[in-house]
Amino acid sequence: MAIGRLALLLPLVAACSPPPPWTFTGQGQYTVQLPGTHTRVVTETMSKQYPLGAITGAVHTAEGRRPVELYATAHIDFPRLKEAGTSPLQLLDAMLQGMIGGMQSRVTDSSDFVYEEFVGKECLFSGTWKGQAIHGKARLYLIQERVVAVMVAGRDRACVKDPATYAFFDSFKYNGPR
């Protein structure tokens, strides 16, 4: 009798359970879990030719609810990075400034970190985007010849300390070759 009641309740429990989080993947080499629900998820690819070769990448964005209104990951491949003669941290500094500056924002705080054996940069930023105040947090990883960016943003400063932000950043996993 108890098993029969349990069988009747299982469909109700399944219907009330939250959906599994979305996963951003970078060509199978990294994953990041999106917490919560999202109104729109978009993936774009890019490719540009430079003197050191073609730089290719992908950008994944998801719109969320306040305070975290945007989740994003991106990866950019620099196939001839070693020939550029730039230190890893200088490259990440330049990438952060370009990425944040492109959003009409400025870096307000930054720090270096190490993820496994790879170096990284993390920053907080503030500015104006499309006429509205924007605040956020970004983390860049240099993994061999690939820069991976993980970012959140919102109109409220609280987005950088929101539990969903911590969950998003902490879910980053590198799955590629060493």
Burial 132-164 (b: 16+ CB within 10 A, else e): eebbbbbbbbbbeebbbbbbbbbeeeebbebeb
Top-confidence range, 80-89, 94-103, 127-136, 166-175: 166-175
Lowest mean pLDDT among 22-26, 61-65, 100-104: 22-26
CATH class of 21-174: alpha beta
The arithmetic mean of pLDDT across residues 155-174, rounded, is 91
Question: What digits encode the pLDDT tens for the residues 46-101?
Answer: 787 766 566 777 788 888 877 788 888 888 887 777 777 788 888 888 888 888 88
Any idea where the domains of the chain sit in the sequence? 21-174
Say how many C-beta atoms besides its own lie within 10 A of residue 40's C-beta: 8
Residue 26, pLDDT score: 65
Q: How confident is the model at residue 12, as a pLDDT?
A: 32
Two tokens, residue 122? 């993390």
Question: For the whole model, what pTM was predicted?
Answer: 0.79
* pLDDT of 7: 32
Pick 115 or 34 by higher pLDDT. Answer: 115
